[in-house]
C-alpha cells in the first residue's frame, strides 16, 4: 500500500482500477477485512480506494474520534484529487461513512452500508432494547479476556457465541490478518470501543444526506439486522435494501462475490444519467 500524511498521521491506502471512485471503509479490528470485497470482478469497472484507518494496519496512530475518522477520509479524497466518491462501509466503517456524508454531503455520491451498528441511545430506547441485554454480556466477556492479555480469547468470547467463525473470515482476508488483529487490538479495545456509546447519529445528521443509500444485511430476519434495517429506514426515506440469506456479518470476507454483485449494480445505477 502507498502512504500519505494526513492530519498528523501516516495513512496507508491503495487504489485499483478506473471509473467511478468507490471508497471502502473497514470496520473494527481488521484493517484488511474488505480486501476480498474490493478485489471482486463485479467491481472491476470502478476505481477502488481502500485504506487502513488510523492506528490500524499500515496507518500510524494515535487512535482518534469519529470526527478524526471523518477528517482522515476527506483528507484522503483531497490527496487523490477526488471531488466525490461512493462510500462502502462495513460495521464501524459504515458508521464512519454515514458521518462523512452528514458532515460533507458534497463529497459522497452514495452510501452502501454493510450492517452499521445503530446508535446506542436509539437501540436502548426502542423495542429492540433486548438486543443490548444479549450483546452486553458478550462485550463484557470480551473486555475481560482482553484485560487479561488474551486477545484471541477476547475475539472468541464475542463471536463464538454468535456462531460466527472469525478465524475463517480473517484468513479469507489474508494470511497476515489474524496477526494484524492482535497487533491492532489496543486501538479498538482501548479507544474505539470506548467511543461507540458516544456515537449519536440520528435524524438531525441524516437530514443533510440526500444521496442514494443501500442497506445490506445478512440473515435479515435476525433481531440485530431487523433493528438495523428499521433504524436506517427511519433515517433515510431513500434507503434501498439488499439481503444475503444464510450469510453473516463476516460474509464480506467469506462470500465477497455475493456481497459485491448488488453493490456493483447499485453503484452503476447512480452513474447512469437521468433524462
What is the average per-residue pLDDT within 103-119? 96
Does the residue 157 lie in any domain? no
Give the three cell numbers for residue 211: 444521496
What is the average per-residue pLDDT within 99-118? 97
Helices 151-159 and 130-147 pack at an angle, to 10 degrees, of: 170
pLDDT given at position 274: 45
Does the residue 68 lie in any domain? yes
pLDDT at 85 over 80: yes
pLDDT given at position 273: 54
Which residues, 6+ apart, have CB-to-CB distance to 209 below 8 Å?
98, 101, 102, 105, 108, 111, 236
Does the residue 148 lie in any domain? no
Does the residue 167 lie in any domain? no
pLDDT at 232 over 90: yes
- pLDDT-wise least confident of 69-73, 134-138, 248-252, 266-270: 134-138
Q: Are 33 and 253 in contact (CB under 8 A)?
A: yes
What is the average per-residue pLDDT within 84-108? 98
Residue-wise pLDDT for 33-81, tens only, equals: 999 999 999 999 999 999 999 999 999 989 989 999 999 999 999 999 9
pLDDT given at position 56: 96
Residue-wise pLDDT for 160-196, tens only, equals: 998 899 999 999 999 999 999 999 999 999 999 989 8
The owner of cell 444464510 is: 246
| 220 — pLDDT class (breaks 50, 70, 90) | confident
pLDDT given at position 272: 63
| 133 — pLDDT class (breaks 50, 70, 90) | confident
pLDDT given at position 130: 86
Does the residue 190 lie in any domain? no
Give the three cell numbers for residue 207: 437530514
> Could you tell me the residue range of the domain that residue 224 belongs to?
2-118+200-270
> Which long-range contacts link 149-157 to residues 24+ away (Cβ below 8 Å)?
151/181, 151/182, 151/185, 152/182, 154/185, 154/189, 155/29, 155/181
Mean pLDDT taken over the chain: 94
Does the residue 7 lie in any domain? yes
pLDDT given at position 104: 98
* Alpha helices in 104-165, H assignment, sequence order: 120-125, 130-147, 151-159
Does the residue 14 lie in any domain? yes
User: Residue 38's domain is classified under what CATH number?
Assistant: 3.40.50.1820
Tally the domains of the chain. 1
pLDDT given at position 275: 40
pLDDT at 203 over 60: yes
Does the residue 128 lie in any domain? no
Amino acid at each position: 500500500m502507498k502512504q500519505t500524511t494526513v492530519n498528523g498521521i501516516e495513512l496507508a491506502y491503495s487504489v485499483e482500477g478506473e471509473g467511478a471512485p468507490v471508497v471502502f471503509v473497514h470496520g473494527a479490528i481488521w484493517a484488511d477485512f474488505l480486501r476480498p470485497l474490493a478485489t471482486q470482478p463485479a467491481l472491476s469497472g470502478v476505481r477502488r480506494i481502500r485504506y487502513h484507518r488510523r492506528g490500524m494496519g499500515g496507518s500510524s496512530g494515535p487512535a482518534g474520534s469519529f470526527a478524526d475518522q471523518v477528517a482522515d477520509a476527506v483528507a484522503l479524497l483531497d490527496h487523490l484529487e477526488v471531488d466525490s466518491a461512493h462510500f462502502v462501509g462495513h460495521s464501524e466503517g459504515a458508521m464512519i461513512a454515514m458521518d462523512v456524508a452528514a458532515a460533507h454531503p458534497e463529497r459522497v455520491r452514495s452510501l452502501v452500508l454493510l450492517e452499521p451498528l445503530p446508535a446506542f441511545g436509539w437501540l436502548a430506547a426502542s423495542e429492540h432494547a433486548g438486543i443490548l441485554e444479549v450483546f452486553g454480556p458478550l462485550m463484557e466477556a470480551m473486555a475481560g479476556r482482553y484485560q487479561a492479555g488474551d486477545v484471541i480469547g477476547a475475539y472468541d468470547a464475542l463471536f463464538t457465541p454468535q456462531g460466527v467463525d472469525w478465524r475463517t473470515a480473517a484468513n479469507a482476508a489474508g494470511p497476515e490478518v489474524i496477526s494484524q488483529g492482535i497487533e491492532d487490538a489496543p486501538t479498538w479495545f482501548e479507544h474505539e470501543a470506548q467511543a461507540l456509546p458516544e456515537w449519536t447519529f440520528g435524524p438531525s445528521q441524516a437530514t443533510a444526506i440526500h444521496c442514494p443509500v443501500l442497506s445490506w444485511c445478512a440473515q435479515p430476519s435476525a433481531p440485530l439486522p431487523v433493528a438495523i434495517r428499521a433504524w436506517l429506514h427511519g433515517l433515510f426515506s431513500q434507503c434501498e435494501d439488499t439481503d444475503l440469506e444464510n450469510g453473516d456479518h463476516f460474509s464480506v470476507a467469506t462470500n465477497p462475490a455475493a456481497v459485491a454483485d448488488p453493490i456493483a449494480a447499485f453503484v452503476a445505477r447512480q452513474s447512469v444519467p437521468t433524462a
